[in-house]
Amino acid sequence: MLFDILGLIVIGLVIGALARLILPGKQSISIVATLALGVLGALIGGWIASLLGTGDIFELNVLGFVLAVIAAIVLVGAYAGMAGRSNRAVR
């Protein structure tokens, strides 16, 4: 179980970084937020892949990875949009 959590953190960081690289424009997001959104994206992608019958939520497979990156892109975009909106309101 410990290795599953550590693996999820590492893959979450990779997925979060990929999402930020794929998403156009500049995102003012910290590394902690990137990690958290990547882990959340990995969980969502793994969950959807497991619903489709491709394996366990913690199992790394191609479909789960692709879905995780897509979920992380959506999450990073939404987070950057909300953070940008609150920064504009302050100025």
Residue 77: inside a domain, yes or no?
A: yes
Domain assignment of residue 91, yes or no:
no
pLDDT tens-place string over residues 34-59: 889 999 998 898 889 889 888 777 77
Q: Residue 62 sits in which domain range?
A: 1-20+31-84
Residue pair 8/42 in contact by the 8 Å Cβ criterion: yes
Alpha helices, DSSP H only, in 1-91?
2-22, 31-51, 62-90
Among 47, 37, 45, CA closest to 76: 37
Q: Give the C-alpha separation, 35 to 17, whole Å.
A: 8
- Inside any domain, residue 14: yes
Tell me the pLDDT of the chain averaged across its residues: 83
Instruction: Output the pTM of the full model.
Output: 0.81
Residue 90, domain member (yes or no): no
How many distinct structural domains can be found in the chain? 1
